[in-house]
Amino acid sequence: MWSFLFPKEVFSEMRLAIKSRSVLLPQEGISLSSLRPAVLYIKNGKIEQISGELDPKFTGEVIDVASDVVMPGLCDTHVHMNEPGRTEWEGIETATRAAAAGGITTLVDMPLNSIPPTTTVEALQLKRALAKKTAFVDYGFWGGVISGNKQELEPLIEKGILGFKAFMIDSGVPEFPMASEKVIRESLPILAKYGVPLLVHAELESPVQMKNSSVRSYSNYLASRPQKWEVDAIRLMIQLAEEYGAHVHIVHLSAAEALSEIEKAKAKKILISAETCPHYLTLKSEEISDGATHFKCAPPIRENDNREKLWEGLNRGTINFIVSDHSPCTPQLKKMELGNFKEAWGGIAGLQFSLPVIWTEMVSRGLTLEYLSNLMAQSTTQFLKIKGKSGKIEVGMDADLVVWDPEALFTFNESQIYHRHKVTPYLGKKLQGIVKKTFVRGQCVYDLGKFTGPLGQEVSRL
Ligand SMILES: [Zn+2]
């Protein structure tokens, strides 16, 4: 195929050195990394050597980023790219450009809300063919567990799917029906056999007491999806994880009341893990106005007190990592003009903002870059168990890097957002941490507003 781009082979063989006074490197014997002056030598997309200073005999290209921080690229395991079928909501190209601009070097696409959803091998191949031509960062795919696709699970695993997602409640789209306990039970022995995780949207419906009848009221929306729904679902999933010896991962945990359940299960060595998202960690229901449907997501953003407990859950290791759950739609579907929480699409567009949004919050809590990198690069990458990537800057691993200034203050305006649509709760917020360059396997895919690519490749299981 003819391409105006630099041929991939030539690009990847180039020998490159990235030099900085602040490189986040692993420390021997300690799980966290630390900032040090270093030069990273890169060849064939891999980190070939790490040294304290530049070798004067080096003849390749040198990129000196002065005091900007060089950190492992982020890995976001929860992204809805919505292509094919709902490309007007987002799309692989726009989502992966936004990822690159946000310092994300690997992302994993959710099996919904594309049409068809990734519940069959045929659908996977369709998505794969599109991503190969249009992705700006590396990517993988989650498959779906739905009623009636049991016979597809093994072939999907054999074709390279990283794991599966199931909904214990209505997913919001008709082509991805919820999975009953029976359907989940049928899937778990297959997943356990191959050692791939089941990612679960954990909410189990039961009757609720509404506050009022207003569809514009946020407190009413919050009351409609209580913590109990998450706790009940998580209790059931812990039981099933134990019964089948399968790895169950709770996506977008919002209810802090479930933390003690997860903690107890982990103490019993049950294979359970959990993630939460920037919106649950930085936004609070007390500050969401009635009618502000761009804050609608499911489960909902809860009270400030709950948010504090989620941070405690992260600090204790009960929650394993932070991912975006980037789930955009067209502005029309957000029903902003009516402010109707009942009818608005539930999902927050946040892919590009994860790094500065979380970092801004971490700075106010006195948390470190090492901690950030652990929660958004290392733990997420290692959860995927993929070849060539560890989420750390290490010799022999892919040179997936973000170069950024963690001290610079800025405010997002619409022209700096690369998602297809600009509706987001983070617009106009004062944030800290500007991404300058993003390298995927040693290739600079993002450089202060300029993109090179698409050069993204699919990741594969170990
Ligand atoms: Zn999601």
CA of 325 to the centre of ligand 1 (A): 5
CA of 222 to the centre of ligand 1 (A): 18
Q: Is residue 48 part of a domain?
A: no
CA of 240 to the centre of ligand 1 (A): 22
Q: Is residue 425 part of a domain?
A: no
CA of 277 to the centre of ligand 1 (A): 10
CA of 233 to the centre of ligand 1 (A): 16
CA of 207 to the centre of ligand 1 (A): 24
CA of 171 to the centre of ligand 1 (A): 9
Residues lower than pLDDT 50 in the chain = 1-11
Contacts of residue 135, Cβ cutoff 8 Å, sequence gap at least 6: 92, 93, 96, 453, 454, 456, 457
CA of 252 to the centre of ligand 1 (A): 7
CATH number of the domain to which 328 belongs: 3.20.20.140
CA of 69 to the centre of ligand 1 (A): 30
CA of 200 to the centre of ligand 1 (A): 10
CA of 283 to the centre of ligand 1 (A): 17
Q: What is the pLDDT of residue 272?
A: 98
Q: What is the pLDDT of residue 3?
A: 35
CA of 110 to the centre of ligand 1 (A): 7
Q: Is residue 181 part of a domain?
A: yes
Q: What is the pLDDT of residue 9?
A: 47
CA of 78 to the centre of ligand 1 (A): 6
| 30-43/16-27 β-pairing | antiparallel
CA of 61 to the centre of ligand 1 (A): 40
Q: Quick one: CA dihedral 17, 19, 23, 27, positive or negative?
A: positive
Domain limits at 127? 73-384
Write out the H or E segment, with its range, that includes residue 200. strand 198-201
- Alpha-carbon torsion angle 282, 103, 252, 348, nearest 10: 70
- Burial pattern 90-109, b for ≥16 Cβ within 10 A else e, equals bbbbbbbbbbbbbbbbbbbb
Q: Is residue 276 part of a domain?
A: yes
CA of 346 to the centre of ligand 1 (A): 10
Number of domains in the chain: 1
**Side chain identity at residue 2, one-letter code:** W
- How far apart CA 164 and CA 141 sit, in angstroms, is 9
In a 13 Å sphere around the CA of 71, the CA atoms on its Cβ side amount to 33
CA of 428 to the centre of ligand 1 (A): 24
Q: Is residue 113 part of a domain?
A: yes
Q: Quick one: CA dihedral 34, 26, 70, 380, positive or negative?
A: negative
Whether 406 and 432 have beta carbons less than 8 Å apart is answered as: yes
CA of 12 to the centre of ligand 1 (A): 33
**Side chain identity at residue 175, one-letter code:** E
CA of 106 to the centre of ligand 1 (A): 16
CA of 208 to the centre of ligand 1 (A): 23
pTM of the model: 0.95
Quickly tell me which residue has 């602040």 as its tokens. Answer: 22
Q: Is residue 44 part of a domain?
A: no
Q: What is the pLDDT of residue 14?
A: 64
**Coil/strand/helix, residue 383:** helix
Q: Which two tokens stand for residue 268?
A: 């019993």
Whether 135 and 114 have beta carbons less than 8 Å apart is answered as: no
CA of 111 to the centre of ligand 1 (A): 9
- How far apart CA 11 and CA 395 sit, in angstroms, is 19
CA of 321 to the centre of ligand 1 (A): 15
Q: What is the pLDDT of residue 30?
A: 62
User: How does DSSP assign 263-331, residue by residue?
Assistant: HHHHHTT--EEEEE-HHHHH--GGGPPTT-GGG--SSPP--HHHHHHHHHHHHHTSS-EE---B----G
Is there a cis peptide before residue 454, judged by omega within 30 degrees of 0? yes
CA of 23 to the centre of ligand 1 (A): 32
- How far apart CA 18 and CA 35 sit, in angstroms, is 15
CA of 206 to the centre of ligand 1 (A): 21
CA of 177 to the centre of ligand 1 (A): 14
Q: Is residue 458 part of a domain?
A: no
Q: Is residue 12 part of a domain?
A: no
CA of 43 to the centre of ligand 1 (A): 36
